[in-house]
Structure 1
Amino acid sequence: MGRLIEATHVSLGGEIGDIAWAFPYLDAEHQQYSWELLESAEALLLGRKTYQGLSAAYPAMEATAEGVFGEFVHRMNTIPKYVATTTLTEFSWNASKLGADVVEAVRALKAEGDLVKFGTGPLDALLLEHRLVDEYHFWLAPVVAPATVQPLFEGVTGAPSLTLADVTRFASGVVALRYTAP
């Protein structure tokens, strides 16, 4: 059985959402960490908003991205993607719609190998409720984001109990926290 690994940027106050505040911290160490995480996955699991944002940005990056970042961009553009959505009907960027029963569809995908989910949003409440996320990778940036930014785990009821499995410090001040779920 594969794992579902969720990875997201988070500010010191627990905010996510529009991560323009994180851009100064996307350095070579972050790129290497992200590349290794993405390379370990069979596919990506994305919510609608994350899919729309990433699919609009990444194809155009392919021509100019170099080094590890270029490899990351190429992998982002070619890896199979599954999108949880009730509104989108057309997909590009090597993506397809996740089945109507999201829980069963994710379980079936995990049976095929590891999945990575970038971004945090409404889909997470469902994934947490059904204990489908096996690992969380939080890139904690040394920044206080505006209070208007979306909070981490918005809409989640109950407190998931996580175990700290690893900590990676980057020279930029970012700390990658890897947690496992019971």
Structure 2
Amino acid sequence: MGKIIVSENTSLDGVIQDPRGEEGLGRGDWFARVGDKDLEEWTEALTAEAQAAEALLLGRRSYEYFAARYPSRSGAMADRLNGMPKYVVSATLEDVDAWSNSTVLKGDVASEVSMLKQRVNGDIVVYASGRLVPKLIEHDLVDELRLMMYPFVVGAGRRVFGETDCMKPMRLINARTVGDSIVLLTYQPTKD
């Protein structure tokens, strides 16, 4: 059975939107404001995460972002992402030929992702996907949440968590420093 792992880059105040300053939020490129050691260890952590994954799950916008960049890249992380199965949750996307091994999941998100978890044996990693992640959390489909927290208060923008119908308790299972200033927090959902 598959395990949904949400992996997000986030500011201290939970902002996930526009970390590269490309979307017009007007808060700059907060992702690149950390040091070289931070970025080097961040790359190592994400590469290890990708190597351990069996599949990638993305929302449409995140798929389009990655598909525009990764097919032409090389290296351990790019090679792994390019080669692994990718599933895209979208009601509007028809063509996923831009990135190899991609499949569109249409229909009810909870049903489609639940069936995906039954088909895939291993970790299914969700990168970015700011609209998909709250739906996965809402429907108790997330098995692990990995927050790569950057030392900035961005002050505006879409946050990692949306509204839910009730409180979703989490248990911290690991915390470690990545580089000099990034913290990787790993949580698992708990039942009341």
Name the TM-score, length of structure 2 as normaliser: 0.84
Where does the alignment leave 5 or more consecutive residues of structure 2 unmatched? Answer: 21-29
Corresponding residue number in structure 2 for 1:11: 11
Share of identical aligned residues, percent? 33
Cα RMSD between the aligned structures? 1.6
The code of the aligned residue for 1:89 comes to E
Q: Distance in 2 between matches of 1:175 and 1:142?
A: 8
Alignment partner for residue 125 of structure 2, among 95, 105, 116? 116
Pairing of 1:25-40 with structure 2 (within 5 A): 25=34, 27-40=39-52
The code of the aligned residue for 1:37 comes to E
Where does the alignment leave 5 or more consecutive residues of structure 1 unmatched? Answer: 63-69
Deviation at 1:177, TM superposition (A): 0.3
The code of the aligned residue for 1:56 comes to A
Kept in 2: contact 1:120–1:153 (CA 8 A): no
Q: Distance in 2 between matches of 1:108 and 1:101?
A: 11
Deviation at 1:110, TM superposition (A): 1.6
Kept in 2: contact 1:15–1:151 (CA 8 A): yes
Alignment partner for residue 90 of structure 1, among 92, 95, 99? 95
Q: Distance in 1 between matches of 2:32 and 2:71?
A: 19
Kept in 1: contact 2:42–2:179 (CA 8 A): no
Pairing of 1:62-73 with structure 2 (within 5 A): 62=74, 70-73=75-78
- Following superposition, which runs of at least 4 residues in structure 1 exceed 6 angstroms of deviation? none
Alignment partner for residue 51 of structure 1, among 55, 63, 88? 63
Kept in 1: contact 2:91–2:106 (CA 8 A): no
Matched, 1:80 2:85: yes
- Report the secondary structure of 1:42's partner residue: strand
Corresponding residue number in structure 2 for 1:166: 174
